[in-house]
Amino acid sequence: MDKFEGIDRKAVRVIEYEGKDRIRTKRRSTGNRGYASGFEGLMLYINRLLPLNEHIGQAFREERRIYPEIAVRELVANAVIHQDMTIRGSSPMIEIFEDRMEITNPGPSLNDPQRIIDLPPRSRNESLAALMRRMNICEEQGTGIDKAVNAAEFFQLPPPDFRIEADNMKAVLLAPRQFGDMTQVERVRAAYQHASLKVLANSKMTNSSLCQRLGIAKQNAAQASRIIKDALAAGLIRPADPDAPRAGYVPHWA
């Protein structure tokens, strides 16, 4: 990338830290290959850095990365494709901590981060997005975030966090935690994201489906009810049919 004036400082940076803060850097790397030609190598490098969890199947024990590979791939590709190339001195960055993974790209999201799951994609770099699609690195269909959130749900991880910080867009994948260790903000965000995925699949969130999403036992279903109540109070979700309490819930925008 250093052969191209203007993007020679736009290579993806990967930084691994010891612990949960940025005080001690374990290793750092900046790639020099192009976004497309170096993408698979970048993903292999990132996956080698990610911690492993032991999973016990029906017959064998196996080790799995703590973050779903599809979620990491989609969020990294999203950061590369949707970065603001006009911001100087900044490039896509992947930071790996003990308890989370932060993927940051220069330039705020063109969509409201709260609506990033459902709104059609808006690309700053249409030619780059089209080229990456032809190289099978992205689909250019706006489903990358949906896949990342869905993967987090499938493995019952805390909900990913999407936020704008100054002139940057940041996506945060959180390491596995039991329901009891999640914050109330994370539980409410999980309910909102779950309701969003449900309505995109022509369905509704229910107390039962939220219990399954968060790994809440049936006898503790009242915990899901409290989360739904908090999400309603925050204005993130609403009843699908106010006259039919059992009809389920949808996100506020549905």
pLDDT digits (tens, 9 = 90+) for 190-219: 999 999 999 999 999 999 999 999 999 989
Hey, how many other C-beta atoms are within 10 angstroms of the C-beta on 122?
11
The pLDDT score that the predictor gives to residue 164 is 94
The pLDDT score that the predictor gives to residue 99 is 94
Whether 56 has a pLDDT exceeding 60, the answer reads no
The pLDDT score that the predictor gives to residue 5 is 80
Whether 181 has a pLDDT exceeding 80, the answer reads yes
Q: How far apart are CA 47 and CA 194, in angstroms?
A: 26
Whether 96 has a pLDDT exceeding 90, the answer reads yes
Pair 164, 110: CB distance under 8 Å: no
Hey, how many other C-beta atoms are within 10 angstroms of the C-beta on 205?
26
Whether 139 has a pLDDT exceeding 70, the answer reads no
How would you write the chain as a 3-class SS string? CCCCCCCCCCCCEEEEECCCCCCCEEEEEECCCCCCCCHHHHHHHHHHHCCEEEEECCCCEEEEECCCHHHHHHHHHHHHHCCCCCCCCCCCEEEECCCEEEEEEECCCCCCHHHCCCCCCCCCCHHHHHHHHHCCCCCCCCCHHHHHHHHHHHCCCCCCEEEEECCEEEEEEECCCCHHHCCHHHHHHHHHHHHHHHHHCCCCECHHHHHHHHCCCHHHHHHHHHHHHHHHHCCCEEECCCCCHHHCEEECCC
**11-37 residue pLDDT tens:** 999 999 999 999 999 999 998 888 888
